[in-house]
Structure 1
Amino acid sequence: MSIENARRDPAPEPGELPRESAAKETLEDYTLRFAPRSYRKWSTGVVGVTALGGIAYLADFAIGANIGISYGTTNALWGILVFAVVIFATGFPLAYYAARYNLDLDLITRGSGFGYYGSVVTNVIFATFTFIFFALEGSIMAQGLKLGLNIPLWVGYAVSTLIIFPLVIYGMSLLSKLQLWTTPLWLVLMVAPFVYLLVSHPDSVSSFFAYQGENGQGAPSIGAVMLAAGVCLSLIAQIAEQIDYLRFMPPKTPENSRRWWTSLILAGPGWVFFGAIKQIVGLFLAVYIIANVADGATVANEPVHQFLEIYKDIMPPWAAMTVAVILVVISQIKINVTNAYSGSLAWTNSFTRITKTYPGRLVFLGVNLLIALVLMEANMFSFLNTILGFYANCGMSWVVVVATDIAINKYLLKLSPLQPEFRRGMLYNVNPVGFGSMIVSAGVSILVFFGAFGAAVQPFSPLVAIGLAIVLPPLLAIATKGKYYLRRTDDGIDLPMLDEHGNPSAETLHCHVCRQDFERPDVARCETHDAVVCSLCLSTDKVGDHVLPAQA
């Protein structure tokens, strides 16, 4: 096709109108597509701090306390170590692809073994993650509001949900400022109680390591370690939320290479180090409260009470209550803007591909918040371990399969295309390599989790999920000879996809359907016109006349 035609402004087809959805991408935050260089004006440091601001959640404290109370300190610490190693190893290739090619995890998943429609199921898994953890954080905030202001829990659930909506409307442009402004205060409020205990109550350290769990049966056990790790590994999908920020990284150049890699590692897979520390601190505070506070065992796993009891030792009760509530509210807002934002992206992605209709991200922002509110009102906090343990099997299967496809199928076997592809028409609808591997991995590990293969192997469902997700993708890629990755290798545009540094090209072309300009990685040739069409217009093409045919 003529590139000059694409650079000019060809008239739209009769009856076609400009698509408002394509014209308001700043508001929609590039929900369904590549994040263009023209929008990515933040420095590597700002992107990194913004991404790390999203891990300010207090759920880690509750998770650490819960697994320690259930399995004892020793087993909990080993479980947390297993969790950290798995998360870092699987998160690195995903974070690299997101920052290098400026794609969210759904777009990466499409071209990494799942296919154009195959990744819809992983979007549902991710959306489930966001509303589960939104509900968990909202529950913690409601506990704080009830404790500090005597607000009924059901009202607190509603308040913690409604305040998030206006903060998420403008996506990265507002969230980057929110995370930067609130992080210093959050760090001080979170670290102070732990440091205080270490200095003023050094004996709490030995009590912490000696703690055997609520039943006093916390002797070292591989089964208990894996059960603890399984609960922690429910957080594996957090890398997708980190990626929702990392996709806005600036281009990697020789001048910014060191800063680029530092931000990528710390804000990408490195989030797990901060998460593991918070889980350990949560358990530490819980053990101290159980030993030193009357009826402490009943509230030791609730972060609000954990911090309140320590603050009471440092300052007057009224001040302790105020500071505890401030910490809870700041933490809840910092993480739940991320949960709501990422959930809206995931739901919108799935809905648009299935229905070929683009309602806008804000519609599904409301849907995600509503589901989370229902979970909170159902008191999901009371059965946290079961929810997270079950979910972990699905999350691990998805993330590990994608990481395996990138690390092994792309770089080692070279059966998967090295450069990610996400556009409709370029991919097969379903690729059995990733999709099949995930279904088998998740299905078998869930059966193990619920005891279908006996109590002896029940604790090892995380290992089953991880093992199958590592082994199956290479086997299926070899068996299919990699032929289900790309439906086409040529998108019909004679312009390079990457610049001289290997970054996505900033060359812009004009979509003849929505009449907007888009950068080179986000467009393809239109099958029925001498013009180009953007990826969103391809996604919403109900007739399919813009979609390129399969390549022989």
Structure 2
Amino acid sequence: MTQTVTTSTRALESEGRSAAAAAAHESLEDYTLRFAPRSYRKWGVGVVATSALGGIAYLADFAIGANIGMSYGTVNALLGIAVAAVVIFVTGFPLAYYAARYNIDLDLITRGSGFGYYGSILTNIIFAVFTFIFFALEGSIMAQGLELGLGIPRWIGYAISSLLIIPLVVFGMNALAKLQVWTTPLWLLLMVVPLVYLIAAHPDSLGEFFAYRGAGPGGMDFASVMLAAGVCLSLMAQIAEQIDYLRFMPPKTAENSRAWWRAVILAGPGWVMFGALKQAIGLFIAVYLVARLDPGAAATANEPVHQFLGVYRDMMPPWLAMTLAVVLVVISQIKINVTNAYSGSLAWTNSFTRLTRRYPGRLVFVVVNVGIALALMEADMFSVLNTILGFYANCAMSWVVTVATDIGINKYLLKISPKVPEFRRGMLYAVNPVGFVSMILSAGLSIAVFFGAFGPGVQPYSPVVAVLVAFVATPLLAIATKGRYYLRRRDDGVGLAMFDADGNPSAETLRCHVTGLDFERPDMILSAVAGPDGEPQYISSLALATDRSGVHVLPAQR
């Protein structure tokens, strides 16, 4: 039932119109709060996949692999890496598919997968924390390289590695796609050549690698495997950054189906195959440096710049080795931290706007995210890396496993959760206990285990607790609530079909009566405010997100 706008709400409506217009500035805001329309998605599947994979150029994997290997030994570290990779791939697949098929980011997927319109703000914050933790980690690695290669004090290097990123993130996907495509060949060359050289020139280093026991007692130990896996599983939230690119995939058709699927799998959950390989390489190089060059190298063998510098020096003159090591570190840091800053700005902006109905602009939160990361760098988070990542992993796993379970079990097996993802205000309840409670329960219990609340014998198994609790609680709560909190409305009041003949989101457009702009069908909903002559008017999800008066929100349906 529609209504007319009263005088008392006109000021708020005008303010909301201005905020929505600002958010619609596509060149800067990059579809921060909404579905990515077909009119913008002009890239081929190869460009999108390459851009997404450019975001995993980070060197943190080398540090993670070295750290867990030096702590638990090669065998336990490799098994932990493998366990984490399997979990990340399985849980990441349904999320990547939904992002590419429906052209929405992970926050929008989360809203309709058990969390509700406001419930997903919590997971958005978890993701934002991921982006600045790893921004700080990569920035620390770059500062190490600048200090070693150019003699720049580390605290200045932290500032350089942070401030350098801000101008590169301003123009969103358009600029990031070009940067990632152009820099990937050189990055691959600089990363792969040292490994090939080591294996070819020192084949016996493989035996030393597998025999390495680290600081532990040695031998295969399940608790050590799980501790190693827990650190690696902190990277589970990386799928959200992959999705920030995958949402720009072109429509899936009969002609591009095979290429489309390859791109989605490779650049979606497939990122973890590259990540696991980098972790193993980081450990391999660290073992080589400690065993072959200098036992004292253990102090810096977990720092990627020292890892690659050590191998390069074995291959070429020292001046060239130093140059290439610094170049690799700088390229890698830029490739990943533009993604961290970009994705973090989307997450912060989305949460802030939903809570306040005010849109400050994505660039504000680029600066905020970079500022938090810089503070972490100056606090030397690199020295307590395993603890930070192990703790964070519990939150990331609880979120991602809950969403993946809702898609795989509740949507496709139990058919309780609506199969088509819903993200628009008014269509969803504020909070859905299915996902929200499951994630809180999973994260709370696994964090308690991580900090030893249930004794040291159970402590290494916090990743198992996080995964199992989320996997079991999500369908149980869906059954207990009978799915009643997924949709506040089932009819959005728009007569046009949501999807085209190929099952892709429709490209037909409607005029938003608040902003005066045209939006594609999946973004639109009937407004509760009728036109001057009582005719129906339509409003975009973007305008609804900044509607402080609430007059445009349709009533709930029973």
Normalising by structure 1, report the TM-score: 0.97
214 and 134 in structure 1: CA distance in 2 versus 1, 3 angstrom threshold: same
Report the Cα offset of residue 170 of structure 1: 0.5
Measure, in 1, the Cα distance between the counterparts of 2:293 and 2:356.
55
Structure 2 partner of 1:541:
547
Instruction: Give the SS at the match of 2:510.
Output: strand
Structure 2 partner of 1:507:
508
Structure 1 partner of 2:266:
266
Report the Cα offset of residue 214 of structure 1: 2.8
Structure 2 partner of 1:300:
301
Q: Is 1:92 equivalent to 2:93 in the alignment?
A: yes
Report the Cα offset of residue 408 of structure 1: 0.2
Structure 1 partner of 2:5:
none
Report the Cα offset of residue 219 of structure 1: 1.7
8 Å CA contact 2:357–2:545 kept in 1: the answer is yes
Instruction: Give the SS at the match of 1:524.
Output: strand
Instruction: Give the SS at the match of 2:519.
Output: strand
Instruction: Give the SS at the match of 1:397.
Output: helix
Structure 2 partner of 1:433:
434
Report the Cα offset of residue 15 of structure 1: 5.6
Deviation sequence 1:241-278 (CA, Å, 0-9, x none): 00000000000000000000000000000000000000
Report the Cα offset of residue 81 of structure 1: 0.6
Measure, in 1, the Cα distance between the counterparts of 2:487 and 2:137.
40
8 Å CA contact 1:161–1:369 kept in 2: the answer is yes
Structure 2 partner of 1:50:
51
8 Å CA contact 2:102–2:505 kept in 1: the answer is yes
Instruction: Give the SS at the match of 1:113.
Output: helix
Structure 2 partner of 1:173:
174
8 Å CA contact 2:13–2:547 kept in 1: the answer is no
Q: How does 1:108-119 map to 2 (within 5 A)?
A: 108-119=109-120
8 Å CA contact 2:23–2:361 kept in 1: the answer is no
8 Å CA contact 1:113–1:431 kept in 2: the answer is yes
Q: How does 1:207-286 map to 2 (within 5 A)?
A: 207-215=208-216, 217-286=217-286
Measure, in 2, the Cα distance between the counterparts of 1:287 and 1:219.
16
Measure, in 1, the Cα distance between the counterparts of 2:13 and 2:200.
75
| Matching residue's letter, 2:164 | I
8 Å CA contact 1:441–1:464 kept in 2: the answer is yes
Gaps of 5+ in 1: 3-11
Q: Is 1:487 equivalent to 2:488 in the alignment?
A: yes
Instruction: Give the SS at the match of 1:533.
Output: strand
Report the Cα offset of residue 526 of structure 1: 0.4
Measure, in 1, the Cα distance between the counterparts of 2:496 and 2:518.
15
Report the Cα offset of residue 22 of structure 1: 4.1
Instruction: Give the SS at the match of 1:542.
Output: coil
Measure, in 2, the Cα distance between the counterparts of 1:207 and 1:368.
42
Instruction: Give the SS at the match of 2:374.
Output: helix
8 Å CA contact 2:12–2:547 kept in 1: the answer is no
Instruction: Give the SS at the match of 1:509.
Output: strand
Instruction: Give the SS at the match of 2:439.
Output: helix
Structure 1 partner of 2:8:
none
128 and 23 in structure 1: CA distance in 2 versus 1, 3 angstrom threshold: closer
After superposing the two structures, state which structure 1 stretch, 288-297 or 19-28, moved more: 19-28
Instruction: Give the SS at the match of 2:359.
Output: coil
Structure 1 partner of 2:413:
412
Deviation sequence 1:70-97 (CA, Å, 0-9, x none): 0000000100110110000000000000
Measure, in 1, the Cα distance between the counterparts of 2:136 and 2:24.
33
| Matching residue's letter, 2:155 | W
Instruction: Give the SS at the match of 2:403.
Output: helix
| Matching residue's letter, 1:274 | F
Instruction: Give the SS at the match of 2:73.
Output: helix
8 Å CA contact 1:90–1:400 kept in 2: the answer is yes
155 and 13 in structure 1: CA distance in 2 versus 1, 3 angstrom threshold: closer
Deviation sequence 1:480-503 (CA, Å, 0-9, x none): 000000000000111110000000
| Matching residue's letter, 1:346 | A
8 Å CA contact 1:22–1:516 kept in 2: the answer is no
Structure 1 partner of 2:423:
422
Q: How does 1:509-528 map to 2 (within 5 A)?
A: 509-528=510-529
Deviation sequence 1:35-74 (CA, Å, 0-9, x none): 0000000000000000000000000000000000000000
Q: How many aligned positions are there?
A: 543
Report the Cα offset of residue 20 of structure 1: 3.2
Report the Cα offset of residue 27 of structure 1: 1.7
Measure, in 2, the Cα distance between the counterparts of 1:494 and 1:218.
66
352 and 15 in structure 1: CA distance in 2 versus 1, 3 angstrom threshold: closer
Structure 2 partner of 1:475:
476
Normalising by structure 2, report the TM-score: 0.96
Segments ≥4 residues shifted beyond 2 Å: 12-20
Structure 1 partner of 2:291:
291
Instruction: Give the SS at the match of 2:525.
Output: strand
Report the Cα offset of residue 343 of structure 1: 0.2
Structure 2 partner of 1:157:
158
The percent of aligned pairs where both chains have the same amino acid is: 73
8 Å CA contact 2:13–2:549 kept in 1: the answer is no
8 Å CA contact 1:244–1:342 kept in 2: the answer is yes
Measure, in 2, the Cα distance between the counterparts of 1:142 and 1:187.
21
Q: Is 1:77 equivalent to 2:78 in the alignment?
A: yes
Instruction: Give the SS at the match of 1:499.
Output: coil
Report the Cα offset of residue 14 of structure 1: 9.2
8 Å CA contact 1:13–1:513 kept in 2: the answer is no
Measure, in 2, the Cα distance between the counterparts of 1:14 and 1:525.
16
After superposing the two structures, state which structure 1 stretch, 528-537 or 161-170, moved more: 528-537
499 and 325 in structure 1: CA distance in 2 versus 1, 3 angstrom threshold: same
Structure 1 partner of 2:7:
none
Measure, in 2, the Cα distance between the counterparts of 1:405 and 1:214.
40
After superposing the two structures, state which structure 1 stretch, 19-28 or 159-168, moved more: 19-28
Instruction: Give the SS at the match of 2:539.
Output: strand
After superposing the two structures, state which structure 1 stretch, 540-549 or 101-110, moved more: 540-549
448 and 362 in structure 1: CA distance in 2 versus 1, 3 angstrom threshold: same
Structure 2 partner of 1:28:
29
Measure, in 2, the Cα distance between the counterparts of 1:455 and 1:47.
45
Aligned-residue RMSD, C-alpha: 1.4
Instruction: Give the SS at the match of 1:505.
Output: coil
13 and 128 in structure 1: CA distance in 2 versus 1, 3 angstrom threshold: closer
Report the Cα offset of residue 25 of structure 1: 1.9
537 and 198 in structure 1: CA distance in 2 versus 1, 3 angstrom threshold: same
Deviation sequence 1:111-167 (CA, Å, 0-9, x none): 000000000000000000000000000000000000000000000000000010000
8 Å CA contact 1:125–1:395 kept in 2: the answer is yes
Report the Cα offset of residue 301 of structure 1: 0.4
Measure, in 2, the Cα distance between the counterparts of 1:13 and 1:125.
31
Gaps of 5+ in 2: 3-10, 531-535
Report the Cα offset of residue 218 of structure 1: 2.4
8 Å CA contact 2:24–2:31 kept in 1: the answer is no
8 Å CA contact 1:22–1:514 kept in 2: the answer is no
Measure, in 1, the Cα distance between the counterparts of 2:133 and 2:377.
9
Structure 2 partner of 1:385:
386
Report the Cα offset of residue 21 of structure 1: 1.3
Structure 1 partner of 2:557:
551
13 and 281 in structure 1: CA distance in 2 versus 1, 3 angstrom threshold: closer
Measure, in 2, the Cα distance between the counterparts of 1:77 and 1:62.
14
